[in-house]
Amino acid sequence: MAATSPHLPWWNDRVGYQVYLPSFADADGDGWGDLAGLTARLDHLAGLGVGLLWLSPIHPSPMADHGYDVADYLDVHPRLGTLADVDRLVAAAEARDIKVLLDLVPNHTSIAHPWFARARRDREDPYRDYYHWRDPAPDGGPPNNWTSVFGGPAWTFDETTGQYYLHLFAPEQPDLNWDNPAVAEEFDAILRFWLERGLAGFRIDVAHRIIKAPGLPDQPVVPPELRPTDHSGRSADHHAIEHIHDEDQPGLKELHGRWRRIADDYDALLLGEIYLLEPATLARYLADQRGLHLAFFFGLVEARWQPEALATMLRAGEVTGPHLAWVQSSHDRSRAVTRYGGGATGRRRALLVATLTAALPALPVLYQGEELGLDDGEVPVEAMQDPLALRSGGALSRDPARTPMPWRDEPGLGFTSGQPWLPEGGRRRGDTVEAQETDPASPLAAHRRLLATRASLADLRHGEVRWVGEAPPLLAYDRGQARVVANVGSSPVALPLEGSAWRVAFATGGLAEGARLEGGAELASEQAAILVRDEAQTP
């Protein structure tokens, strides 16, 4: 991996990769991915060019939301491994120059967490104020009109003490009360516990929803005709109100700044999941660089194939500054290949977008299987595990994006020797790592070449970005002496190349890698390339 400029943070030179641990690699044959399985597969990530690994939650949990309902922040779920397994993973990753981020879930705990067990036992218990409790409304119903991401009211009545508790997600995930200073102190200790073990930082779950408006007032109701028909992984109930009191609240930056001061003691990264699609809003969290170091930009995750909107989305960094993590897929949404048309068409388009984002500041992040060109897996309704699916009768499900990683063409896909927790997804031999390893035309081979090109050209990581083509079908930007180009249209386009000759450093198709271009060239439909001025030196 190339050395980082002394003026840039260590993550600037790296490529991120999200591991959804239950579905990545199972070492003990129980059908669930685990830390030992991931450790055994680190060479795959190193060979791909990954330098930063984001690990989904590993903590003890009843798995009502597959680990995002945490019962103990300072330990590991026995199904996933032990603290010693964490240490082995971190050491093995470090030996391959891979840093490991842990998923931090600060908005809510599990109902099985000891804090909540104490809180629901007695209104006078010191842990009561760790959560949001309210008396019923005059009609006996919920205290306000807030709704859950997973459907229904964001409140559940607890008969033991005769009050409702707040949960923006599942009833098994009660929201923490960050107005209580004791909660902040608990998390200070949690962050330091993991950073002392050698973790390189945290991906912070729903970093924009942790603090709520004082008094928890009713939200404005969205008229039915203005509600989206595509629920984008959220219930229709969630879209029925305008979320002005349960997200993007004053006080969040102060909280992020508190964590930043801890992270800076360890040169650790804070990467926020801020699911707000307007770049100007994201910029408020990032501009002064006193809180989160980076935030995901989810415009591409929410998009289908939208050539006319690509340039606008990719220029979000001009508003936020060079502090974005670029993703097209995640464990929460349909995979990019499926959203972009599926099959060969979807794979071609996803690789094009990956090329466009690979050289944007600061951090491209792949979701597991993206390097294989995977589309959504096939999961029948009766086999779905996602709480969103269970509450919607299968109409909304994140399970197709979470099916097991296909390593080999055999029962269990090389993921497990047992029965996988989710169906295998209808994968074919060509989807597997084993098949793509030896196929120079495979998505895996293309992603390896793309990331190797990014690593070999310092300008793709350190240079200033200057857009030179933002009108579809031709999108292009320069970064130092390199140029990233893409034809998002359905017909070939002329590629004007001013000045001296250019060399093709990487191409998704059409252009020959290594070829020297003078004056211009033709770029095939839905193809992308990285060019470098022929006199530019590769370090």
Count Cβ atoms within 10 A of the Cβ of residue 325 and give its class: 0-12 exposed, 13-18 middle, 19 or more buried: buried
* 374 contacts 417 by C-beta, under 8 angstroms: no
- How many angstroms separate the most distant Cα atoms in the chain? 77
6-to-3, 9, 13, 14, 287 alpha-carbon distances in Å: 9, 8, 12, 15, 21
Q: How far apart are CA 411 and CA 417, in angstroms?
A: 8
Strands lying side by side in the sheet with 155-158: 133-134, 163-166, 155-158
* 380 contacts 336 by C-beta, under 8 angstroms: no
The H-or-E segment that residue 448 falls in is helix 443-456
Which distant-in-sequence residues (6+ apart) come within 8 Å of 234 by Cβ? 149, 396
DSSP state of 130: G
Catalytic pick among 172, 175, 205, 478: 205
Q: How far apart are CA 339 and CA 330, in angstroms?
A: 12
Q: How far apart are CA 204 and CA 379, in angstroms?
A: 28
HSE, side-chain direction, 13 A CA sphere, residue 337: 22
Active site residue 159: no
Catalytic pick among 69, 175, 273, 371: 273
Q: How far apart are CA 316 and CA 330, in angstroms?
A: 19
Nearest alpha carbon to residue 466 among 452, 479, 484: 479
Q: How far apart are CA 415 and CA 346, in angstroms?
A: 25
At 145, the amino acid letter reads N
Active site residue 196: no
Nearest alpha carbon to residue 148 among 206, 215, 226: 206
**Residues annotated as part of the active site:** 205, 273
